[in-house]
Amino acid sequence: MNKPSKLTSRTSYKPMAEINVTPLVDVMLVLLVIFMVTSPMMITGVSVDLPESDAKQITNNDEPLAVTIDKKGTIYLQEQRVELGDLITKLNAILHQKHDARIYVRGDRNIDYGKVMHVVGAINHAGYTKVALITDQ
């Protein structure tokens, strides 16, 4: 019988069938930390001085849609300035008439309460019933 020589068995190449997942896990953990740090900053587009409250925090998995009223009374939808008359039209375009979507209203602590309630009333009159006022804890 012919035996294979030791020289040919040493030089033969065997592919490695195992996958090293350590670098993948490292990258995913770094991305997770980055998103955890940056996601709370995404809702604070327009700078307002929010009032404080002892109310419970809202837990919701939907992406929030924020309407902000700054200290000058200017209305913003997310970070875009809008007039009150155009607000409902833009909300309908963004939400595609999905009236069960949650809308967060952020009003500066120094703004007239009536102005905030006027915006909330306009949103509610358009059929959006899940309107929440945002405050600092």
Assign 81 to helix, strand or coil.
strand
Structural domains of the chain, ranges and CATH numbers in brackets: 46-134 (3.30.420.270)
Q: How far apart are the first and last CA of the chain?
A: 85
Q: How many CA atoms lie within 13 A of 55 on its CB side?
A: 11
Per-residue pLDDT of the chain (137 residues; tens, 9 = 90+): 565 555 555 667 777 778 888 888 999 999 999 888 877 666 555 666 666 766 666 565 566 788 888 888 889 988 888 898 888 888 888 887 777 788 888 888 888 888 888 888 888 888 888 888 887 76
pLDDT score recorded for residue 6: 54
Q: Which two tokens stand for residue 46?
A: 């327009």
pTM over 0.75: no
pLDDT at residue number 28: 93
Report the candidate in 106, 79, 77 with the shortest Cα–Cα distance to residue 94.
Answer: 77
Looking at residue 30, its amino acid is V
